[in-house]
Amino acid sequence: MAVKYELIKECKQTRARVGRVHTPHGVIETPVFMPVGTQATVKTLTPEEVKDIGAQIILSNTYHLYLRPGHELIREAGGLHKFMNWDRPILTDSGGYQVFSLGPLRKITEEGVTFKSHLDGSSHFISPEQATQIQMALGSTIAMAFDECAPYPCTYEYAKASLERTTRWAKRCLEAHDKQDQALFGIIQGGVYRDLREQSAAEITALDFPGFAIGGLSVGEPKPSMYEVLEYTVPLMPKDKPRYLMGVGSPDCLIEGVSHGVDMFDCVLPTRIARNGTAMTSQGKVVIRNAAHARDFSPLDPECSCYTCRNYSRAYLRHLFKAEEILGLRLFTIHNLFFLLRLMERMRQAILEDRFLAFREEFYAKYGRDEK
Amino acid sequence: MAVKYELIKECKQTRARVGRVHTPHGVIETPVFMPVGTQATVKTLTPEEVKDIGAQIILSNTYHLYLRPGHELIREAGGLHKFMNWDRPILTDSGGYQVFSLGPLRKITEEGVTFKSHLDGSSHFISPEQATQIQMALGSTIAMAFDECAPYPCTYEYAKASLERTTRWAKRCLEAHDKQDQALFGIIQGGVYRDLREQSAAEITALDFPGFAIGGLSVGEPKPSMYEVLEYTVPLMPKDKPRYLMGVGSPDCLIEGVSHGVDMFDCVLPTRIARNGTAMTSQGKVVIRNAAHARDFSPLDPECSCYTCRNYSRAYLRHLFKAEEILGLRLFTIHNLFFLLRLMERMRQAILEDRFLAFREEFYAKYGRDEK
């Protein structure tokens, strides 16, 4: 098996747990946040910077790489790791989420999905087999089964048909997958319907996957609904395999996800809001364009030891954003990723030291909760 | 005197020379190319990267910093060095060039220049005294006198009136300047008219400046005209002070400038064309978007040892540009600056080893000349 989960410690008050995912590209300490490198680059950063910030694994998007530069080109380059100069683990999604997000540009059949490229309108067809082949060509450490991510809200009937198709597709992905040094994870769907999540969890975890994801969350539902789904779904997932909550990355969702026993997360949020000039800090969010920061010569976050906070003032950072200088995007991306990765590290430490609940309360007291 | 020039070695066949400029922020080995950091940042790079590439001094633009974030804010920040986290020398231009480039948005009188901001249309007035005050607030290592840069082409009468005003303004700048740890350089004007250049050189070098620049070149005139002006102007400049040719940065112009005895250069060219996806390489220019590079897994320049060439293929770099990823702009900026700074280093070495002419011929044989 290409990846193996090792449980290190469980929290006594919550389902939070610390573990290690062993992979051919190195060990990942969990719970872990995976920065997103959609197009074979974590936007604005070099791989060395992503490492220095503390990233153990990154995520890249199959849909985007399939369209540009093409998975065959990446295979010729020696795989995604070599192509982009990153030697730690990479997880690729299946492309399903992006394809389903295309709305009227795609059509789903049992065989697969026909869609039009958002780049040039050209027509494409991706089946579970092809999504698997593409990810094998990319050579990611962890590949994901091609699933159907139902929208929110969606009817019970739609969610049920969708999860059942996802199970059939999962089997086809497993069948098509034959890369020994790559893990293939299954994805549990079922929307916000408890019995459907139970059905999906039972069907998917019955299959021989080395790890499992919860898909179809963080797609517009209220956060309490997401936490409710986690509450009844995570316990249905095997304890001896990694659990991955897809598309989640705000500090409060990460903390709640960890509390519910999730091991892996990914989200574009920290890097996307960084490029907008919004920083996550120990005192909550900072919008750097605000006039209040014009003559503020203190760091973005006085409690942060990232490169940005060690070397630059809010006044300079604001200047960079006002002047539309790329260095501003870089410095904010570095800070936000550092902040989230440090949050994960502090959670791991707190779990190991039996003080996770106290840590959670302290964090919320300072950062606030961003419920909606 | 805030800066002092030390002559180390002269070429026997040309006017090329190697020297050192001693400044309060460190020693600059000349001939030197100064990367441009218009808005208090060398576009896309951190100061550490700019240093790693080998930059000894950077240039920043007074006009831009005056408008945004404002020189008083930078003074409050502790000066430009501290504001932008750069501890090596900084040269600031006077703002004259940018103001005169505004065309119909500015009006020149003997007192100074009234202009409208390109950012918000607000009205401003800058006199030689104010240009000097602004640069003292910025705290640059080398400030420039406020000159009038005549356009090309321009009539003899205009060029003469303009250079004579530049001389009067130079005296007012010297009068206004009272920052002991900052050098103020004078600028020779006179267009492409030999007797006017001679008049300007005589008037400006008679003033007590610790260094002199040749302005009003690289403004649209053919390269042979520029070289002709250098041929008769540089010998009129003192041997014991640094000579700076403003706005020049293509490889052939740098080599010809050095051949004519120039010590300092600046230009946005290498960084600007980098962001366009054009690289300067040992084999000439490479336009990375060209389809020929799509499956080229070799480095941008096989003879280059910069970070970009050591770690990435042309195929990956092309992908970054096609996908509009910021990392591409960074990697090309790094490469082009490295290429030019390495060229300067190789010229210094060749002069020291009495083989400058041979080096020049070898370089042109491979890179080609870009005459126009």
The reply to whether residue A46 touches residue B316, judged by beta carbons under 8 angstroms, is no
The alpha carbon of residue A157 and the mean position of all alpha carbons in its chain are separated, in whole angstroms, by 28
- For residue range B290-315, list pLDDT tens digits in order: 999 999 999 999 999 999 999 999 99
Question: Touching check for A289 and chain B: CB below 8 Å?
Answer: no
Rounded to the nearest angstrom, the minimum Cα separation between B276 and chain A is: 14
Rounded to the nearest angstrom, the minimum Cα separation between A157 and chain B is: 39
- Kindly indicate the confidence band of residue A103, based on its pLDDT and cuts at 50, 70 and 90: confident
Give the C-alpha separation, A260 to A212, whole Å.
15
From chain A, the residues in CB contact with B78 under 8 A are 297
The per-residue pLDDT for A179 is 98
Which residue out of A93, A147, A263, A301 is catalytically annotated?
A: A93
Give the C-alpha separation, A98 to B319, whole Å.
20
The per-residue pLDDT for A339 is 98
The per-residue pLDDT for B369 is 82
The per-residue pLDDT for B96 is 87
**Mean per-residue pLDDT over chain A, rounded:** 97
Strand B17-23 and strand B26-30: the pairing is antiparallel
- For residue range A210-244, list pLDDT tens digits in order: 999 999 999 999 999 999 999 999 999 999 999 99
Nearest to A326 among B44, B64, B315 (CB): B44
The reply to whether residue B325 touches residue A68, judged by beta carbons under 8 angstroms, is no
ipTM value for the complex = 0.98
Give the C-alpha separation, B349 to B10, whole Å.
12
CA distances to B17, B29, B211, B286, B350 from B242, rounded to whole Å, are 11, 11, 5, 34, 20
Q: Which amino acid, residue A358?
A: A
Question: A159: closest CA among A180, A190, A188?
Answer: A190
Question: A53: closest CA among A314, A344, A315?
Answer: A344
The reply to whether residue A69 touches residue B315, judged by beta carbons under 8 angstroms, is yes
- For residue range A301-338, list pLDDT tens digits in order: 999 999 999 999 999 999 999 999 999 999 999 999 99
Which residues in chain B show pLDDT less than 70?
371-372
Q: Residue A218 belongs to what H/E stretch?
A: none
The reply to whether residue A327 touches residue B41, judged by beta carbons under 8 angstroms, is yes
CB neighbours of residue A299 within 10 Å:
20
- For residue range A158-217, list pLDDT tens digits in order: 999 999 999 999 999 999 999 999 999 999 999 999 999 999 999 999 999 999 999 999
Q: Which of residues 101-160 of A touch B (CB under 8 A)?
A: none
- Core vs surface per residue A126-147: b (16+ CB within 10 A) or e: bbbbbbbbbbbbbbbbbbbbbb
DSSP sequence for B188-247: E--TT-HHHHHHHHHHHHTS--S-EEE-S-SSS--HHHHHHHHHHHGGGS-TTS-EEETT
- Kindly indicate the confidence band of residue A372, based on its pLDDT and cuts at 50, 70 and 90: low
The per-residue pLDDT for B59 is 98
Residue A20: strand, helix, or coil: strand
Give the C-alpha separation, B101 to B64, whole Å.
13
To the query of whether residue B266 is one of the catalytic residues in this protein, the response is yes
Q: Residue B125 belongs to what H/E stretch?
A: strand B123-126
Rounded to the nearest angstrom, the minimum Cα separation between A331 and chain B is: 9
Full strand arrangement of the beta sheet holding A183-188: A32-34, A264-266, A243-245, A212-214, A183-188, A142-144, A90-92, A58-60
From chain A, the residues in CB contact with B329 under 8 A are 326
- For residue range A17-70, list pLDDT tens digits in order: 999 999 999 999 999 999 999 999 999 999 999 999 999 999 999 999 999 999
Q: Return the bridge partners of B58, or none.
A: B90
Asked whether the predicted pLDDT for residue A78 surpasses 80, the reply is: yes
As given in the structure block, the two tokens for residue A142 are 């962890």
Say how many CB pairs under 8 Å bridge A and B: 98
The per-residue pLDDT for B103 is 82
To the query of whether residue B93 is one of the catalytic residues in this protein, the response is yes
Give the C-alpha separation, B51 to B41, whole Å.
13
Strand A284-287 and strand A278-281: the pairing is antiparallel
Angle at A111 between CA A109 and CA A117, to 5 degrees: 70
Question: B122: closest CA among B68, B80, B62, B72?
Answer: B68
Asked whether the predicted pLDDT for residue A106 surpasses 80, the reply is: yes
CA nearest to B309 within chain A: A85
Asked whether the predicted pLDDT for residue A370 surpasses 90, the reply is: no
